[in-house]
Structures are given as structure tokens and as C-alpha cells.
A and B are shown apart, each in its own frame.
Chain A
Amino acid sequence: MQKLFLKTVFFLVGISLSLNLLGTLAQRAAPLEDWRVEFQERGANFKARNESIEAITLGNSHADSIDYSVLEMEGQSLALAAADLFELEKTVISLDDKSPNLKTVFITISYYSFSRDNSKFDALRSRRVGFYSMVPVWSPIKGDWTNFLMGKLDAYTHVMSVVRSDSWQAVWPALLLDASQTNPFPYDGVQTSSVWGECFHYTAEQLDTHAREIAGRNVSSSIQMANAHPGLEQDSFDALARTIKRLQARGVRVIIYTPPYYQKYNTYFADGGSHITDQMRLAVSKLQETYGVEYYDFSNDPELTTHPGLFYNSDHLNECGYKVFSAKLLEQLGGNGRFDK
């Protein structure tokens, strides 16, 4: 039996090393998704500056809307693309005692934030696994052992970078050609100059097409997740409430906000998902009432939502948009007389 044990250990170590090597190779040669790289960079930045960081942004990719240089704060986005409120809660737990100077947390609330559970949706399950892999949490979100185990396995073996949906179809040519010359995530928008600088953005026509597609997809995926997780809204609300309480108990100021969306996105989202936005607004007002949390809604602010030049795509601002939005946010916070930098 000792022989079997030693051979098993040797085999597992060998396989883990091979997976690590192959996963790293595949990810470098032809990354399947950019959100992992982006989040890892954010984590590394946070770790490097954690002593001085005063503010962080949490939420999904819509949270990428604050430019801390405009707010004149030491801040860092820890937003994770497609993150749900359960993942957000775990992220906050993982940050306990890691940011002694943290004073403010900005939490983005998208229209569908209370109708999201990535573990219940096949297309987003890999995000949940990636979350467990990258974030140092040591217990799963309620009832999510499978993805948790997969995520922790991935953290040590990079297995998810080896197990690719394209079966390495994109890796071989990238290995044979010069990977640095290929851009795996080409952007088809335009670049223009404005008072805010040179920024990439979609044209009005592209924004319309994108808005129709993405709003429809977001509404439909939210409905599917809500069907797969009975009581999802309440569970999401509870997760966010616990997060707010935890942060407030640390003396951290919690500011929640809904970022601006391009006007057509709002129109298309309302077509099938007005009940989702209604529920979101109801939940937010309950949070304001119960926890005295501040909430700012920029989703329909015409100074932002009507300018194609500020949008990377219909539901994400570009870097110029970050600046304009951050200036408006600062104005709002300052205007209330409550924002103390």
C-alpha cells in the first residue's frame, strides 16, 4: 500500500505541475477571457497599496466607472466582471483586516443585481469558479460546494486554463505564431478626442445594436437565474445587507450607486425587464431605510446617458466617461455635504 500511496502522490504532483505549466502556457498564448487577468492585476495593486488605500469599488463590470484621480483619493477597483451580490459579500469578508486605512466602499447596483446567482447559470458558472480560484475565501457561498471545490482546485492547478471550451484550438496557432502580435479581444469601436482626452467608444449606431442585444440577454439571463433559484431576490438582498452591516461595523462608509447606461440600453432593458428594475429600486430604498446607506442613481442622468463619446459600449462607460461620471459623483457627494475626502 505504501507503494500505491507514493505513486499516487507522485502522480498527483506530476499532474498538478503539468496542469500549471500547460494552463499558464495556454492563458499566455491565447487568453480565453480577459476578466481573470484584469482581476488578478487589481488584486495585486490592492495588495501592494493596501496600507494606503482609502476607498474601493465593488460590484460587477459596471463598477468600473470611478476614476479615483478625479475624486483625489487613494482608491482601487476590486470589481469582478459579472460578479453577483453573493460573490461581493465573500469579497468583503476576504478583505477583513487587509486594508487598515479603508474609509469608503462604493458598491455598484446594476438593474439586475438582485436577480443574479452565477452558480445557477451555465454560461456564468465558470465566473463563479474563477471567483473562488482568485479570491482567498475558505467556505463556499451557501449550497455551492461544487464550484467552490472546482475553484480551489483551479487555484493550485490552473486546471480551468487547461480545460478550455475551444479545446486549445486558439492555443496552437498562437504558440506557433508570435502571440504578442495577436489581439485576442479586438475592439470594433472608434477613437475620438474630446475635452476629457482621447477615448475609444461606440458610435450611436453600434450602441443601439449593442444595447438591443445586451439588454435582452441580461433580462433573459436574470429571469432564468431567478427561476433556478427560488427566493433569489430576498437572498441577494440579505447578502448585500450583511455586507453593508459588516462594513459599517468596521466604521466604513458605504455608498451604493447605479452607474449611467446609454439611453438605448435603458429603453431596451425596460422592454422586458421593468419588473427587475422596479424590484431593484424597492430593495435599495429598503436598504436606505434600514441601514441609512447612501444611494445615488445615475442610470438616467441625461448629461451622461445621451453622449455616445462617453461609452465603451451601451452598458459600460469608457475612460472619458469615468472622468465625467466621477466628477458628477463628487459633485453629488460634496453637494450633500457628507463626502469627506
Chain B
Amino acid sequence: MQFNSIEFLVFFPVVSIAFFIIPHKYRWLLLLGASYFFYMSWKPKYIVILLAVTGISYLAGLWLGRDKNPATRRLVLTFSLVLSLGILFIFKYLDFSDPVFQNVFGQLGISRFEPGNILLPLGISFFTFQTISYTIDVYRGIIKPEKHVGIYALFVAFFPQLVAGPIGRANLLLPQYRKTHVADYENMVSGLQRIVWGLFKKLVIADRLALLVDTVYGDPTAYTGMALILATYAFAFQIYCDFSGYADIAIGAARVMGFQLTENFQQPYYAQSIPDFWRRWHISLYNWLRDYIFYPIQRALLRRKFSSRSLVAMIIPPMITMLASGLWHGDNWTFIIWGVLHGIFMVISVWWGQAKKTMSWSFALHPKLATGIRIFATFNLVCFTWIFFRANSLSDAVYVIGHLFADWKLQASLVDLMPGGLYDWMIAILAILLMEMVHIVQMRGGGLRPVVLAQPVWVRWSIYFALVLVIFIFGKFGSTEFIYARF
């Protein structure tokens, strides 16, 4: 069940209304049942994986909460991480169509095994990372283990964030599942507005740009120059609108029921450096990587007497963190290089930040111009890395980079890269401009809601109606999958 499907249009109101009607003590059960139903609507049997990951981390948490022996606790933590990551590894990274596996299955007498039937379980990277953070936090003593198996299972499977995050933290989420939620007008209205805004980004911008991006990146060797550049920039907006649109719907849906999820985006394309980009893009993943990979490595290096300004301490933690980020998306070389490039850019950025302090000379640019240049440079660096992220293979990515500036001229045929020609381009550009206007208002403080709420009632309602009708008229419908649901 996708957020942009008719099933969800029925499912969500039914669950939300039922949530407020039934007594508080049964609400966890309703949400858990609804979340499992939501997950099983895709492939029912894959619920076993979700249950296994939930069970492993729940039991590990209980054990870690009771046992005081450091050695046993370390063993339990390791065992639980190996099991959880093992499941992730098996389903995400193993290629069962490989002849080696075929031989093994053959020798085991499993002749009916068809590797093509094994699909990547929806949201496996998200819920596995969420459970890992819980187990480590219990181990570190940051949180107490959750004893109620139902509440814990809900923490792992809560349907708004199950498939594509935001990756939640136990200390923020678990107390919310115990709290009594009262139907709150403000939460409901702002939640619904957030859902509509997410649908606008997904259906009007992302799915429209997907038509262009899929055409060009489907067979990049048929294109050169401007077409490749346009498709790359289009992908930058497509992936942002797709993923942040998902986050908006997830956050909005949770808010309707009174739950607060972590924000996952903060106008990332206005970042002034790569580290700044990562503070604004997929924030929940970056925070996870920072807390469970970056800081532990950095602390380990400091313990080994490496100064924080040493080259090793400057290079190793960001490189490993960003490599892990790439691997989290998949084991394709394209993702690995994407992660490594971000690591390199991050190291350069940190080094440059330190080097500037020791320099005797400096540029004296107007602050706004300097900010503009930094935003422009960061955006283009990010777009460059998106080439690897989007390309179907490393050779495609190399071709795209090699031909970005070949035959670089404006041609009438570029208009036809979109099925609707100029009309589709116009809609895409106007919708992006509208989104950027909203971003600018948000960055200037407060967000768009206060601006809208300050208007007379007829203006407010006209805006709501217009936004919904714009989605119906200009949206691309067809239940297109969210990009991050694949991870």
C-alpha cells in the first residue's frame, strides 16, 4: 500500500477515526494491527522478516536490561546485531541468482527455488536500523528496555514511518505510544495540510520529472550534453520531492493521530557545504550514522592518541560514515562511489574550514554573494554525486560524466524529453518555483502555516481548494512507487 494509492485514502481515515474512538488501552493493538496490515498488503509472507527483526531486538533489549555482566552484555549486543544485520545482509546484499547459490541449493535438493521470487523486503533498511539503535541505546544505558512486546512491536512497525522512515529513536517514540492522545484540532489540520503538501511534491513534481529522468537515464548513451545535464538536475528535484514528499505524508499522518516524528529534511539544496547538506538531507539517517558510526570511530581514534586535527581523525570517520551511507542504499558500485564522493567532499570541506583559519589572506566578498556562491557550488557538487546514485550502472555514470559537456547546445528536441513537451516543462518549472517560494518563507522563519493562517477565511479555503485541485489536475497518477521504498 503506497501513500499515493486509493487504498491508503481509505485505510488512513478508517484507522485514524478508529484510533480516537476506541479506549486508550487498546490503541496500541489497533495501530499494530493496522501497521502489519499496511505492511502485508505488499507481500504478506515478508511479515516474518519484520517479526524476526522485532523479536531479536526485543529479546536482546530485555536481556541487556537485566544482565549486569559487561562481558555477557557485550556478547548479547554482538549476537543481536549480527542477527539483525545478517537478515539485512541476506535479503539486501546477497544475489541468489549467482551460480554459487544455485549450486548450493541444487546440492541441498532445493530444485524449486527461484531466486527471482526473492524481493527486497519493503523498508528493511529503515526498520533494521531503528531496532539497532534501540538495542545499542539500551546497551549504553541511554534508555530502559521496553517490556511491553506490543508497544515495542509498534515502535518498529508504526505504519507512517515503516517503509521509508524517518528512522525514529526509541527515547522519542516509545513514550508517545504510551501517552493518551486526545483528538486535537490543531494537530489534525496541520497534519492533513502536511499530507497534501507531500502529495503535491510527489505527484506534481517528482512523478512528472521521473518521466524525463527515466527516459534519459534509461538509455543515457542516446543523449549528450544538455539532455544529460537537464536530466541530472531534474533527478535532483525528483529525488528530493519524492523522498521529502514521503516524509511529509508520514509526519502528517502521524501528527493527525497526535504523534510527532523526526523531521527528515530542512531545505537541503540551500546547504552551504557538504556537511551542511547532510544536516539537512535525510536527517534521521545522518543522525543515526553520526551517533553509531562517526562518533564511536572518532572516540576510538582519540583514545588511540590521534589528535582531532590529525589527518587520520579528519579522514577516517567521515569516509567510513559516508561509505556506510552508500552501502545502506545498496551494494552497487554506483551507491558506494556516491557515498565515497560525499565522504571526500566532507573531508575537503572540514579541511578547508580549518585551513581558512590559519590563512593570512582571505577573499572579501559581499556576504550574500558569498552565501550564494557556496549554495550554488554545494548544489552542483550534490548533483554531480546524484549521477552515480541514479545511473543504472557504473559504465552509465561514466558515460554521463564524460558527455555532460559534449554537443552542449539548446535544441528543440530537448522539449520533447517530457511526454507533454513544453506543457510538462512549464508545469514542472512552475511547481518547483512554488515549492522554492515556500522553502524561502520557511527559511525566513516560522514556515508557511502562520502566513496562511493570517489570511481571511475565504483566502485560506481558496488556497486549500486550489492546492487539492492542482494535485488532481496536474498530478501524475498511477501509484508510482516512492524511490526510497526500494531501500
Given contacts A3-B185, A4-B188, A146-B7, contact A122 B472 (CB under 8 A): no
- Chain B's closest residue to A4 (CB) is B185
Q: Say if the beta carbon of A11 comes within 8 Å of chain B.
A: yes
Q: A11-B464, A14-B465 are in contact. Are A163 and B475 (CB under 8 A)?
A: yes
| Chain B residues in 8 Å Cβ range of A122 | 478
Q: Which residues of A contact B189 (CB under 8 A)?
A: 4
| Beyond A11-B461, A18-B469, A150-B6, 15 additional pairs, beta carbon < 8 A | A1-B185, A3-B185, A4-B185, A15-B469, A19-B472, A22-B469, A146-B7, A149-B7, A153-B6, A162-B469, A163-B477, A167-B420, A167-B473, A167-B476, A169-B420
What is the interface size of chain A, counting residues whose CB is below 8 A from a CB of the partner? Answer: 23
Q: Which of B6, B465, B475 has the most CB of A within 10 A?
A: B6
Interface string of B455-487 (1 = CB under 8 A from A): 000000100110011001111111000000000
Interface of chain A, main secondary structure: helix
Which residue of A is nearest B204, CB measured?
A167
- Chain B residue numbers with a CB within 8 Å of A163 are 472-473, 475, 477
A146 to chain B, nearest CB (A): 5
Please provide the chain A residues from 136 to 190 with a CB less than 8 Å away from any CB of chain B in the complex. 145-146, 149-150, 153, 159, 162-164, 166-169
Residue of B nearest to A15 (CB): B468
Q: Are B5 and A146 in contact (CB under 8 A)?
A: yes
Q: A23 to chain B: closest CB distance in Å?
A: 9
Chain B 412-437, CB within 8 Å of chain A: the 1/0 string? 00000000100110010000000000
In the complex, chain A residues whose CB is within 8 Å of the CB of B468: 15
In the bound assembly, the distance between CA atoms of A145 and B8 in angstroms comes to 12
Asked if B314 CB lies within 8 Å of chain A CBs, one says: no
Please encode chain B, from 1 to 40, with 1 for each CB lying within 8 Å of some chain A CB and 0 for all others: 0000111011000000000000000000000000000000
Interface residues as binary, A15-53 with B (CB distance below 8 Å gives 1, 0 otherwise): 100110010000000000000000000000000000000
Q: Which residue of A lies closest to B420 (CB)?
A: A169
Interfacial chain A residues near B188, Cβ < 8 Å: 4
CB distance from B160 to the nearest CB of A (A): 20
> How far, in Å, is A53 (CB) from chain B's closest CB?
35
Assuming the A-B contacts A146-B7, A149-B6, A150-B6, are A166 and B185 also in contact, with contact meaning beta carbons closer than 8 angstroms in the complex? Answer: no
Q: What is the chain B residue whose CB lies nearest that of A151?
A: B6
In the bound complex, CA of A18 to CA of B476 (Å): 19
Instruction: Report if A166-B469 is in contact (Cβ < 8 Å); known contacts: A1-B185, A3-B185, A146-B5.
Output: no
- CB closest chain-B residue, reference A23: B472
A3–B189 alpha-carbon span in the complex (Å) = 11
**Residues of A contacting B464 in the complex (Cβ-Cβ under 8 angstroms):** 11
30 contacts between A and B (CB under 8 A): A3-B185, A4-B185, A4-B188, A11-B464, A14-B461, A14-B465, A15-B465, A15-B468, A15-B469, A18-B465, A18-B469, A19-B469, A19-B472, A22-B469, A22-B472, A146-B7, A149-B6, A149-B7, A149-B9, A163-B472, A163-B477, A164-B473, A167-B420, A167-B424, A167-B427, A167-B475, A168-B473, A168-B474, A169-B420, A169-B423
Docked complex Cα distance between A18 and B464 (Å): 12
A164 and B419 CA atoms in complex are apart in Å by 14
Q: How far is the CA of A168 from the CA of B469 in the complex (A)?
A: 12
B143 on the A face (CB < 8 A): no
Closest A residue to B477 by beta carbon equals: A163
Query: How far is A14 from B420 in the complex, measured between Cα atoms in Å?
Result: 30
Q: How far in angstroms is the closest Cβ of chain A from B405?
A: 33
| A15 proximity list for chain B (CB < 8 A) | 465, 468-469
Closest approach, in angstroms, between the C-beta of A280 and any C-beta of chain B?
Answer: 30
- Chain A residues within an 8 Å CB radius of B7: 145-146, 149
- Counting CB contacts under 8 A, is B183 at the interface? yes
Interface readout for B149-186 with A: 1 if CB under 8 Å, 0 if not?
A: 00000000000000000000000000000000001010
Which residues from B are CB-within-8-Å of A169?
Answer: 420, 423
- If the complex has contacts A1-B183, A4-B185, are A166 and B5 also in contact, measured as CB distance less than 8 A? no
B423 in complex: contacting residue of A11, A149, A150, A167, CB < 8 Å: A167
Closest to B186 in A: A4
Assess the B6–A22 pair: CB atoms within 8 A: no
Tell me which residues from 228 to 275 in chain B have a Cβ below 8 Å from any Cβ of chain A: none
Mark out the residues of chain A between 94 and 128 whose CB falls within 8 Å of any chain B CB in the assembled complex.
Answer: 122
Which of A3, A159, A162, A166 contacts B420, CB < 8 Å?
A: A166
Q: List, in ascending order, chain B residues with CB within 8 A of A22's CB.
A: 469, 472-473
What is the CA–CA distance of A168 and B7 in the complex, to the nearest angstrom?
Answer: 25
User: What residues on B are CB-neighbors of A167 within 8 Å?
Assistant: 420, 423-424, 427, 473-476
CB of A26, distance to nearest CB on chain B (Å): 9
Question: How far, in whole Å, are A11 and B461 apart by their CA atoms in the complex?
Answer: 9
B381 → chain A closest CB, angstroms: 33
Q: Mark B307-342, 1 if CB is under 8 A from A, else 0.
A: 000000000000000000000000000000000000
A11 to B474, CA, bound (A): 20
In the complex, what distance in Å separates the CA atom of A122 from the CA atom of B9?
20
Residues from chain A with a CB closer than 8 A to the CB of B477 are: 163
Instruction: Give Cα A328–Cα B423 distance, bound, in whole angstroms.
Output: 51
Cβ of A164 to closest chain B Cβ, rounded Å: 8
Closest chain B residue to A3, Cβ basis: B185
The CA-CA distance from A14 to B469 in the complex, in Å, is: 11
Contact indicator B472/A162 (Cβ below 8 Å):
yes
Closest to B203 in A: A163
CA distance A19 to B465 in the complex (A): 10
Q: Is there an interface contact between A162 and B473, defined as CB atoms closer than 8 Å?
A: yes
The residues of B that contact A164 with a CB separation of less than 8 Å are 473
Q: Which 5 A-B pairs have the closest CB atoms?
A: A169-B423, A162-B472, A150-B6, A163-B477, A167-B474
Alpha-carbon gap, A159 to B476, bound state (A):
13
A19 to B470, CA, bound (A): 11
Q: How far is the CB of A212 from chain B (nearest CB, A)?
A: 25
CA of A14 to CA of B468, assembled, Å? 11
By CB atoms of chain B within 10 A, which of A149, A153, A169 has the most? A169
B29 to chain A, nearest CB (A): 23
CA distance in complex: A20, B465 (Å) = 14
Alpha-carbon distance A3/B10, docked complex (angstroms): 22
**Contacting residues, chain A, for B5 (C-beta < 8 A):** 146
- B473 contacts across to A, CB distance below 8 A: 22, 162-164, 167-168
Distance, CA A146 to CA B479, complexed state (A)? 11
Q: How far is the CB of A340 from chain B (nearest CB, A)?
A: 47
Taking the closest CB of chain B, its distance from the CB of A14, in whole angstroms, is 6
Instruction: Compute how far the CA of A136 lies from the CA of B478 in the bound complex, rounded to whole angstroms.
Output: 25
With A and B bound together, what is the CA distance between A149 and B10 in angstroms?
Answer: 9
Contact with B along A59-81 (1 / 0, CB 8 A): 00000000000000000000000
Give the residues in chain A near B461, CB-CB below 8 Å: 11, 14
Q: Which residues of B contact A150 (CB under 8 A)?
A: 6
